[in-house]
Structure 1
Amino acid sequence: MAGAQGVPSVTMRALAAELVVTVRALYNYVEDRQEVVNLVVDLMPASWSPPPLHPETWETSVADYAGSLRELYRRWPRAMLVSLDEDTPPTSVHPNRLLNLDRFLRLLQDVGLDLPAALAAHRNGLQPKAVGSQFVAWWLLGELSNGRWTAPGCSGTMARMPTWIIKVEPVVGAGVDEVMREYFTEMGRQVLGRPVTEAELQAVLVEDPHHVLVPPDGEFLVARGDEGEFLGCAGLRLLGGASDTAELKRMFVRPAGRGMGLGRGLLLAVEQSARRLGAARIVCETNTQLTAARALYTRHGYEETEPYEGHGKADHWYVKALN
């Protein structure tokens, strides 16, 4: 009744007629009509079983999640407007609704959105609009696939979310050498606990050059902001003698790009590039002092492994299967 005619149609008298019982008989099972409404609200999320969500294949996960949500709205076309028609207090929110929302927000965070952006994306990108129940999940897909997202209708005092685009660029491009100097300077300060000398900087650039991150056995990805500013980078190369193994190199987010999920975005972009080059797994190395990097790798499915042929003096080695 609620799905076809809307929740307001579910009166005690109409429900009794539908069940061919007296109105008085209904009160043996429910306290009042509000309890009936709460049961309807519980029933809808309880019947929703979203598919698994995986950040590695987030495009498919978002599409499948949106499709399952659309099917729920199709099944209960009028009942889904219950929040507009009825008084539904927070205590009536079904646990499934919160659980599935939490899962989806985690997916959005894993592909590069911070929590406020993820909440706004769910609200604006996946919730059917009251007018015409227009479903706009595919807009969200398009925005995320470009590595950028801005909430629609943001104006006035609402803050605009930071955006960025990740794409393959020449490793000898403008500004790359400068960023590499910043990268090694910061890594040296964190690992050594002191500023690196110019001689040390030149030595590491010679020992571990970044100019090898070029096709056909490598790529260099750059994240740029709205004005084209260099926010971060990451590279990869296929290891010699192991064409099915790619190595993550030079992942670095400049101070201006931090706090917006760019590290996650670069990591996922590199994994996609590694798959495109035919790699079945990806490896990387890091140092004990780089706790943020180690946490990022672990959070995205990387596991510690034995040392492999790399560069520098690493303390930890990680691997992740890409299949």
Structure 2
Amino acid sequence: MGTLVGHVAPGFAFFFLGFWHLFNHIRLHAQQPKSYTSSPWFPTSKFRYIELFLIMIGSSISVSMELFIGPKRHQPFDPDGTIPSNHLHNFEHSSISMTFFVYAAFAIVLDKIGPKAQYGLTQFLAALAFGQQLFLFHLHSADHMGVEGQYHLLLQIVIVVSLATTLMAIGLPKSFMVGFVRSSSIMYQGVWLITMGYVLWTPSLVPKGCFIHLEEGHQVVRCSGEESLHRAKSLVNIQFSWFLIGITIFVMCFYLAMLKFYGEQKIEYSSLTKEDQQLLEEDSDDVESQKGPSKSNSFMHIGRSFAPVDMER
């Protein structure tokens, strides 16, 4: 992080992860509303652990970029072995990625042990990853007073929702709303990170009265005065509100579309062939024969039984 790519890349990762979870939660609930049970991750038919492996790969790339590829010396330490102040961001961001890597790795191990050990502990590890993310963004070494600080403050609100719903899922595994809100919040994290990346590191998108300034090896947005800073923060709040409305409309429309597609049990009708009609007629004849003699036949038998008596008279 700390750059446009450093925010946009993990933003897309969070967005697609949240969308994948949202799709599967809605599909399972639409198909089996009474027996629905949420899941911390979702396997695929071809490769069971593709989601978890992608999280591990993405986390590894993030750690490599923060600690070994991004720094000029391709390592984050000073010559004396200490951490320089301009690399504190790198260690904070890489610690978040390491926690998500640990979650994905142990989720695979727990799944191999058995379903009883999988669900609760896997949700706990996911909650731990979100808790680590919230902790480091709340006590971030970056400036909390400027425009970037306002973006991070609002991001923490979304992370709190992801953390709370993950903890709630441990005790409420059959609650569809818990999984629905959790998936939506993960998606929103991605949208907000992408927005941060473009707004904070694109000069044409920086609010009026503010500018990009280089400080301690990092580009940050600074404003010329209190009025410009207040206006910039207000614009950030408006962005957050508009994106919240947009995400709400998107997830609700997506839910209705998925419910219509997976919720209705479609019955297919086909025309009967001549062979099918013959089989049905034969079956009906067999049923009639098993019912015994009809009324007309029984009447004729009764008449025949009384015929000799009448002749004797």
Q: TM-score, normalization: structure 2? A: 0.28
Whose radius of gyration is greater, 1 or 2? 2
Give the number of the structure whose residues are more often strand, by fraction: 1
Give the number of the structure whose residues are more often helix, by fraction: 2
Query: Which gives a bigger RCO, structure 1 or 2 (Cα 8 Å, sep 6+)?
Result: 2
